[in-house]
A and B are shown apart, each in its own frame.
Chain A
Amino acid sequence: MEEKKPIIRIHDLRKEFIVGDETVRALKGVSFEIHEGEFVTIMGTSGSGKSTMLNILGCLDKPTSGTYELDGVPVDSLSNDKLATIRNTKIGFVFQSYNLLPRTTCIENAELPLFYHHGISAEERQKRAIDALNLVGLQQRLYHTPNQLSGGQQQRVAIARALVNDPVVIFADEATGNLDTRMSYEIMGLFQDLNRQGKTIVFVTHEPDIARMSKRTITLRDGLVISDEIYEHQVDAKEELAKLPVTD
């Protein structure tokens, strides 16, 4: 793989939780690098440590030991406020259950991260939110509220929200988990488009067909990396979508 700027660099990452009297070791020393422009899926069964992994990568949690550099910044020992700023400026999140604000328009949902970014005017916020919504194909739904949208559309709003602060990496946590196959492939097509435009994407999933649509899959089991596979041929989500039988 050609030399590109590393976005994520983790080394010997460990995470332990204390539950009652027992110490649960969720991550037992994980190391890898993700470079700019990559589309990586993290696979694993439940209990494999992939949620813990994502929480740490997403700067929502801190490792017990090990180092983590995000876009050249060592983030493993930052204060909670500093981590919040990192999340605000360098990271975009997409969740399984969309997590949109109810009774709030698409624009207002999409511009949410910019509220916590100083020095952005209301006009600028709105403009960037509309740009992001255009990018995910929701230009016709700017003033709709989540309850007026389908699941796929809601997830697109969430993706627009993740794009609005122009992050260095987008983390998606089972982003297709609540969607049917057709909508899942649509969303994956969108992610592939974004990736082609240069966005770095880290996607947590347990569905192998979804994983095949990325460029690389890291598989975790019991807190350790058991495989790290780079696909030579990436499955195109739009082609797969076209192959699906049309049911009505």
Chain B
Amino acid sequence: MVFSNLVKVAWKAVILNKLRTFLTMLGIIIGVGSVITMLAIGEGSKQSITAQISQMGSNMITIRPGSERIGGVRIDDGSQRSMTLKDVEAIQKEAEFVDHVSPIVQSGGQTIHEANNWPSTIYGVYPDYLEIKKMELSKGSMFTERHIAQSSKVVVIGQTVVTNLFGNENPIGKTIRFKNTPFQVIGVLESKGENTWGQDQDNVILAPFTTVQKRIMAITYVNSIVASAKSESVAQQAVDEVTEILRRVHKSDGTNDPFRIMSMEELLSTANSTTSILTTLLVAIAGISLLIGGIGIMNIMYVSVKERTREIGLRMAVGARSRDILLQFLTEAIFISVTGGIIGVIFGITAAKVTTIFTQWPTIITGSSLLISFLVCAVTGIFFGWYPAKKAANLDPIVALRYE
């Protein structure tokens, strides 16, 4: 039989049993719909985590002091004083895959403006810090190399600090005090909100590195170093390069480096693998309902073959070959599963949108998830339609014609 005729015959059979067909389709609709919704939720949370991490600078490399033995005594990571400006300079000069680098010294304390005070952290950094952290200024300007050379008492403050110290007042040009040192506010950072771990990224005070290191903390080392790779694609090369440079500076053989280098790439892949596991789990559950939908098709096709035994006998008597009968019932099964699949896709997209509206979870529907669901449907139709169709095709026309 020609393809168009097959579709016509299948359509006819479906139309004659509208309710039954619809109920069978419902299994597929729910199966496909939930697979698509789950994939959309998985993809949505993955992309939102990725977006948050790259907002922090996805090509950012953080270097912290590591544990070190001093005369056989192991010293805790955080209390290390092994990193200095020499490391920063070495990276600046030698690393090819790194375009920005900045030392960090940080100190927590109370910030005061007139009658208001607020606990915050002051970071002593280079102007490059903004580039590395992907921060923007909303008002004023960033301090410059000249401010660093002169250890100027100027700061750029985050939105949380502005709100708590100044309210609606314009802070530019005003003075704040941090640990009894007065600073002039020259810039305000664009708000970044909370990061993935719920930490407020706006409760910061940025000041010239030299000012904080010498005037406030009176130390000679740096707490950590941040750098940015030229692009995300060379992030790993940049990490390797920086590792090599620092080993040379610290004369380390690599067995127990006095520093630790972390890239955002690692963080990203860890976060992604977590969401992937979750997505797989959700899709597996949704897949089970698709399987049940498929069994529903198989069931209804068996009923259909049984019911239409005489019709099958007649078709064979007037010239249908086994293959024609097989294709007829297979087409019917695929018709049900694919139509169910299309409705399921629409249902899944709608459900994902509704989920976003009610729960604020980000959902993203990818073309590949639609394509995969659709193909799975067609395969489900073929797989579960095959046995009933084969049963029909193997009927003996003599027996089938006289079947009561």
- Interface residue A99 (Cβ < 8 Å from any Cβ of B): yes
In the complex, chain B residues 290-328 whose Cβ is within 8 Å of any chain A Cβ: 310-311, 313-324
B171 at the interface (CB under 8 A from A): no
Q: Which B residues are CB-close (under 8 A) to A117? A: 319
Taking a contact as CB atoms closer than 8 A, the residue among B1, B16, B320, B398 that contacts A55 in the complex is B398
Least CB distance from B160 to A in Å reads 73
Do B398 and A116 have beta carbons less than 8 Å apart?
no
At the interface, yes or no: A150 with Cβ under 8 Å from chain B?
A: no
Question: Given A55-B398, A60-B397, A95-B401, are A101 and B319 also a contact pair (CB < 8 Å)?
Answer: no
A77–B144 Cα distance when bound, in Å, is 99
- The segment out of A25-33, A78-86, A233-241 that lies at the interface is A78-86
Residues of chain B in range 33-57 having any CB-CB distance to chain A below 8 Å: none
B70 at the interface (CB under 8 A from A): no
Q: Tell whether A161 is near chain B: CB-to-CB under 8 Å.
A: yes
Chain A: minimal CB distance from B7 (Å):
12
B5 close to chain A: CB less than 8 A: yes
Contact check, B16 vs A103: say whether CB atoms are below 8 A apart: yes
Please name the residue on chain A nearest to B9 by beta carbon.
A115
Contacts of A80 in B (CB 8 A): 321-322
A88 within 8 A of B: yes
Q: Are B317 and A87 in contact (CB under 8 A)?
A: yes
B321 touches A93 (CB 8 A): no
- Name the CB-closest residue of A to B308: A101
CB distance from A50 to the nearest CB of B (A): 14
* Inter-chain CB contacts under 8 Å: number: 62
| Chain B neighbourhood of A85, CB < 8 A | 319, 321
Name which residue of chain B comes closest to A173, CB basis.
Answer: B401
A112 within 8 A of B: yes
Would you call B321 and A118 a contact (CB within 8 A)? no
Contacts of A118 in B (CB 8 A): 2
CA distance A93 to B320 in the complex (A): 13
CB of A84 within 8 A of CB of B320, answer yes
Answer whether residue B174 sits at the interface, using C-beta atoms and an 8 A cutoff: no
Q: Given A55-B398, A81-B321, A81-B323, verify A99-B314 contact (CB < 8 Å).
A: yes
Contact B319 A89 (CB under 8 A): yes
Q: Evaluate contact between A87 and B318: CB separation under 8 angstroms.
A: yes
Give complex CA distance A113, B1 in Å. Answer: 11
Within 8 A of B (CB), among A43-99: 55, 58, 60-61, 80-81, 84-85, 87-89, 93, 95, 99
A104 CB within 8 Å of chain B: yes
B12 contacts chain A at the CB level, 8 A cutoff: yes
Q: For the complex, give the distance between the alpha carbons of A80 and B316 in Å.
A: 10
B1, B16, B311, B323: the one within 8 Å of A115 (CB) = B1
Q: Which residues of B contact A116 (CB under 8 A)?
A: 1, 315, 318-321, 324
Instruction: Determine if B401 and A113 form an interchain contact, defined as CB atoms under 8 angstroms apart.
Output: no
A60 touches B398 (CB 8 A): yes
Please report which residues of chain B, range 1-16, place their CB below 8 angstroms from some CB of chain A when the two chains form the complex.
Answer: 1-2, 5, 9, 12, 16
**Contacting pair B398 A112 (CB below 8 A):** no
The answer to whether A101 and B9 touch (CB under 8 A), given A84-B316, A87-B317, is: no
* With known contacts A101-B311, A115-B5, A88–B318 Cβ distance under 8 A: yes
Q: Which residue of B lies closest to A120 (CB)?
A: B2
Instruction: Tell me the nearest residue of chain A to B4, going by C-beta.
Output: A122
Please indicate the chain A residues that have their CB under 8 angstroms from the CB of B310 in the complex: 99
Complex CA–CA separation, A58 to B320 (angstroms): 14
- Residues from chain A with Cβ under 8 Å of B311 in the complex: 101
Shortest distance in angstroms between A104's beta carbon and chain B's nearest beta carbon? Answer: 7
User: B16 — which chain A residues lie within 8 A by C-beta?
Assistant: 103
Contact present for A113 and B321 (CB under 8 Å): no
Query: In the complex, how many angstroms separate the beta carbon of B48 from the nearest chain A beta carbon?
Result: 53
Contacts of A161 in B (CB 8 A): 318
Distance in angstroms between the alpha carbons of A227 and B227 in the assembled complex = 109
Asked if A87 and B319 make an inter-chain contact with CB atoms under 8 angstroms apart, the answer reads yes
Query: Distance in Å from the Cβ of A167 to the closest Cβ of chain B?
Result: 10
Partner of B319, one of A99, A103, A113: A113
Q: Give A145 Cβ to nearest chain B Cβ, in Å.
A: 11
Say how far B49's CB is from chain A's closest CB, in angstroms. Answer: 56
In contact, A104 and B319 (Cβ under 8 angstroms):
no
CB nearest to A87 among chain B residues: B319
Task: Write out the residue numbers on chain B whose beta carbons fall within 8 Å of the beta carbon of A61.
Answer: 398
A88, B319: Cβ atoms under 8 Å? Answer: yes
Least CB separation from A158: chain B residue = B314
CA distance A198 to B212 in the complex (A): 115
8 Å CB interface, A104-148 against B = 104, 112-113, 115-118
**Chain B positions 212 through 240: 1 when the CB is less than 8 Å from some CB of chain A, otherwise 0:** 00000000000000000000000000000
User: What is A's interface to B at a CB cutoff of 8 Å?
Assistant: 55, 58, 60-61, 80-81, 84-85, 87-89, 93, 95, 99, 101, 103-104, 112-113, 115-118, 161, 165
A-B contact sample (19 more), CB < 8 A, given A60-B317, A84-B319, A115-B5 = A80-B321, A80-B322, A81-B321, A84-B324, A88-B319, A93-B317, A99-B310, A99-B317, A99-B401, A101-B311, A103-B16, A112-B318, A113-B318, A115-B1, A115-B9, A116-B1, A116-B315, A116-B324, A117-B319
* Contact surface of B with A, Cβ cutoff 8 Å: 1-2, 5, 9, 12, 16, 310-311, 313-324, 397-398, 401
In the A-B complex, the 3 residue pairs with the closest CB atoms:
A88-B319, A113-B318, A116-B319
29 intermolecular pairs with C-beta atoms under 8 Å apart: A58-B317, A60-B316, A60-B317, A80-B321, A80-B322, A84-B319, A84-B320, A84-B322, A85-B319, A85-B321, A87-B317, A87-B319, A93-B317, A95-B401, A99-B310, A99-B313, A99-B317, A99-B401, A101-B311, A103-B16, A112-B318, A113-B319, A116-B320, A116-B321, A116-B324, A118-B2, A161-B318, A165-B318, A165-B319
